[in-house]
Amino acid sequence: MREDHLVSCWDMSTNNPPDLGFRGLGNDGVSTGLVAATDIVQGIHGKSMATEFDGATEWINVPGIDDWPNGKSALSLCCWIKFTVNQSARGLIGWWYAADFRLRIGTNSVVDFRIGGGSAVSPLAYNDGSWHHVVGAFDISLAVDNVKLFIDGALIDTANWTTPIATIDPFAISNAGLDGSAGLKFAGVVDDVRIYDTALTNLQATDLYVASRQGRL
């Protein structure tokens, strides 16, 4: 796993999660609506805790990286999720509004990775109450299949997008709009959120899934 490309990460064990990335960028999360006593729950393995969002009033903004992707040619978004409620168009992690660089829950609980007009989408719904590891990877240097969605270490779908990232949008966890718009927030549990400044390969996505599942990160 190329941890030298890790930009920031949040273990989601507190309602205002600090940036635990080794670069020490201080991209700490600022929550809205979360209560530590009730919303911090068991994580993906026995050694971790995670954050449960209600899908209505709870979300996290990370203001330190609101416009970080601007001009980048490659990067990856990663997180663990668990949910049971059937939902559509709910934000997981990413930059929202016009630029559309995000992992989200799509129509009827499928997972998609969207960048601009390119969207890689899972064929199946994932509201089965089990933990799933989701990775979205983008590399504009690839002529085709440069938008990739991995779930539980496996490549699920690809898409194409040929325009460099251009965004000054806000970064949020469990929300598809910084303004707190109703109907855009994820209802479920999120753990181990990560941003990389490279497009993870198939092998790296699998390695990350295994290592984080076993608590080795």
Ordered structural domains, the chain, with CATH: 3-213 (2.60.120.200)
pLDDT of residue 25: 85
At 178, the pLDDT band (50, 70, 90 cuts) reads low
Report CA dihedral (85, 115, 20, 141) to the nearest 10 degrees: 140
Q: Report whether pLDDT(47) > 80.
A: no
Question: What global pTM score does this model have?
Answer: 0.94
* Residues 76-104: tens digit of each pLDDT: 999 999 999 999 999 999 887 555 788 99
* Residues 179-207: tens digit of each pLDDT: 555 568 999 999 999 999 999 999 999 99
Say how many residues make up the chain: 217
Q: Report whether pLDDT(50) > 60.
A: yes
By C-alpha distance, which of 131, 95, 129, 135 is closest to 112? 135
Say how far apart CA 7 and CA 24 lie, in whole Å.
9
